[in-house]
């Protein structure tokens, strides 16, 4: 029984469907069926029966599942001990959602360097998905992304809560409102980061496009200078996180909170891979940022950044 067989068996068990499991594992339907047959032959037991509803695990498969999961966890943990642990202990690599480091500010780097001059922080701005992919591939020690977390693979510490907000020209009619709801955006022109980011998918896809609101997407970009220019010229409004919005202030731009009910933002987490052995340097970084945020006040994006009329 090898690691691939364990992965395919567990995913087939969870999905209860060969095609769904193949899609999740990025392999062909035939490939996963072949591996399952090989495993059944090795074990001398039938693992699944085919029904019109999909795969039905046998009693043997149900008994095998927790043991297979423990073996797979051990494989992954051993793998995780190699790439990052073999790097220089003086480097901590973080794949972070765009502008997180800018929000933390220069003092964050200065204070960390003063506390740990032997450790170099290497921070890469990227998207939520790319950060988690990099973490899973052992390319970085940490990812800093918004929740929710996949607790089956990752574990995390909440750093701060970031509200959804709208940036718009001070003379825009919506600027007269103290808080905006999604219905207010009907008929508006929007410039935003884009569908590669969870914030865009959560706001645009789920709350705007799915309910059928009529919005015009002027463009999708992570370039804050372009976004600021378009909003300052009253060509579009921007939807994003408050931690990024407060970094690009302009005398003609105001910020308004966006959301309905309890869904008014997302928590930002420091994420680690459960199956990667942390280095001494990464342990020091984790403790530093968790202590530094409340001490500096950065654990809260100040509401004073939302000037109300």
Q: How far apart are CA 132 and CA 273, in angstroms?
A: 9
* Residue 202 pLDDT: 74
Q: Is residue 58 part of a domain?
A: yes
Q: How many domains does the chain have?
A: 3
Same domain, 62 and 118: no
What number of CA atoms fall less than 13 Å from residue 51's CA on the CB side?
Answer: 9
Q: In terms of domains, do 129 and 253 share one?
A: no
**pLDDT, tens only, 100-125:** 999 999 999 999 999 999 999 999 99
pLDDT at 90: 80
- CA-to-CA distance for 164 and 246, rounded, in angstroms? 12
Residue whose entry in the numeric block shows the structure tokens 């103290």:
178
Residues 165 and 261 occupy one common structural domain: yes
User: Do 15 and 56 sit in the same domain of this protein?
Assistant: yes
Q: What is the CATH number of the domain that holds 272?
A: 3.40.190.10
Q: Each residue of 15-50: pLDDT tens digit? A: 899 898 888 888 888 988 999 999 999 999 999 998
120 and 191 both lie in a single domain: no
Cα separation of 149 and 239, whole Å? 23
Quick one: pLDDT at residue 196?
80
Q: What is the mean pLDDT of residues 241-252?
A: 88
Contact between 232 and 250 under an 8 Å Cβ cutoff? The reply is yes
pLDDT digits (tens, 9 = 90+) for 162-178: 888 899 999 999 999 98
| 205 domain-assigned | yes
Torsion of CA 164, 301, 95, 157, to 10 degrees: -100
> 């884009």: which residue's tokens?
194
Model pLDDT for residues 254-296, shown as the tens digit of each residue = 999 887 765 688 899 999 998 888 888 999 999 999 999 999 9
Who contacts 77 (Cβ-Cβ below 8 Å, separation ≥6)?
A: 275, 277
The pLDDT tens digits for 41-56 are 999 999 999 888 888 9
Identify the sign of the CA torsion 81, 87, 89, 90.
negative
Is 147 a member of any domain? yes
Q: Is the pLDDT of residue 143 over 90?
A: yes
**pLDDT score of 4:** 87
The pLDDT, as a whole number, for residue 308 is 43
Residue 196 lies in a domain: yes
pLDDT at 87: 56
Per-residue confidence band for 309, with pLDDT thresholds at 50, 70 and 90: very low
Whether residues 167 and 248 fall in one domain: yes
Q: Is residue 86 part of a domain?
A: no
Residue 82 pLDDT > 80, yes or no?
no
What's the domain range around 173? 161-265
What's the whole-number mean pLDDT along residues 129-157?
A: 89
* Phi, psi angles (nearest 5°) of residue 250: -150, 145
Distance CA(9)–CA(42), nearest Å, equals: 13
Q: Which of 78, 111, 139 is the last residue of a domain?
A: 78
Say whether both 123 and 37 belong to one domain.
Answer: no
The answer on 221 and 178 residing in a single domain is: yes
Here the CATH number for the domain that contains residue 20 is 1.10.10.10
Q: What is the mean pLDDT of residues 81-99?
A: 74
Structure tokens at 218: 């002027």
Same domain, 151 and 67: no
The two tokens of residue 85 are 């642990």
Give Cα separations from 275 to 41, 63, 74, 195 (angstroms): 30, 24, 8, 29
Average pLDDT (242-257) is 89
Domain end (from 32, 57, 78):
78
pLDDT exceeding 70 applies to what percent of the chain? 92
What does the pLDDT look like over 211-223, one tens digit per residue?
888 989 899 888 8
Shared-domain flag, residues 170 and 245: yes
Kind and range of the H or E run holding 240: strand 237-241
Mean pLDDT of the chain, nearest integer: 87
Q: Which of 78, 101, 129 is the last residue of a domain?
A: 78
pLDDT band at 156 (very low <50, low <70, confident <90, very high): very high
Together in a domain, 294 and 167: no
- Asked if residue 85 is part of any domain, the answer here is no
Question: Has residue 247 got a pLDDT over 70?
Answer: yes
The radius of gyration of the chain's CA atoms, rounded to the nearest angstrom, is 23
Domain assignment of residue 84, yes or no: no
Q: 79 versus 95: which is more confidently predicted?
A: 95
In this prediction the pTM is 0.70
In a domain? residue 292: yes
Residues 228, 240, single domain; the answer is yes
């Amino acid at each position: 029984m090898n690691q691939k067989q364990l992965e395919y068996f567990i995913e087939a068990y969870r999905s209860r469907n060969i095609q769904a499991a193949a899609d999740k594992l990025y392999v062909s339907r035939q490939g996963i069926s072949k591996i399952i047959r090989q495993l059944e032959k090795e074990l001398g037991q039938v693992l699944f029966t085919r029904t019109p509803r999909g795969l039905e695990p046998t009693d043997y498969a149900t008994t095998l599942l927790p043991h297979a999961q423990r073996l797979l966890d051990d494989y992954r943990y051993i793998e995780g001990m190699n790439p990052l642990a073999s790097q220089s202990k003086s480097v901590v690599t973080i794949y972070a959602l765009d502008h997180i480091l800018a929000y933390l500010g220069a003092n964050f780097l200065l204070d960390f360097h003063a506390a740990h001059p032997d450790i170099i922080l290497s921070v890469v701005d990227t998207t939520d998905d790319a950060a988690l992919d990099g973490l899973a591939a052992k390319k970085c020690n940490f990812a800093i992304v918004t929740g929710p977390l996949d607790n089956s693979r990752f574990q995390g510490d909440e750093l701060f809560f970031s509200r959804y907000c709208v940036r718009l020209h001070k003379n825009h009619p919506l600027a007269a409102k103290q808080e905006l709801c999604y219905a207010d955006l009907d008929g508006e022109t929007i410039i935003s980061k884009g569908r590669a980011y969870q914030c865009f998918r959560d706001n645009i896809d789920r709350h705007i496009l799915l309910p059928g609101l009529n919005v015009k997407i002027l463009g999708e970009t992570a370039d804050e200078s372009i976004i600021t220019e378009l909003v300052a010229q009253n060509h579009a409004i921007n939807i994003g996180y408050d931690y990024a919005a407060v970094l690009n202030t302009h005398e003609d731009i105001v910020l308004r909170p966006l959301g309905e009910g309890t869904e008014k933002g997302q928590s930002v987490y420091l994420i680690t891979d459960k199956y990667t052995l942390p280095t001494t340097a990464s342990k020091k970084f984790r403790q530093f940022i968790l202590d530094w945020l409340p001490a500096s006040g950065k654990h809260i994006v100040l509401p004073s950044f939302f000037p109300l009329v």
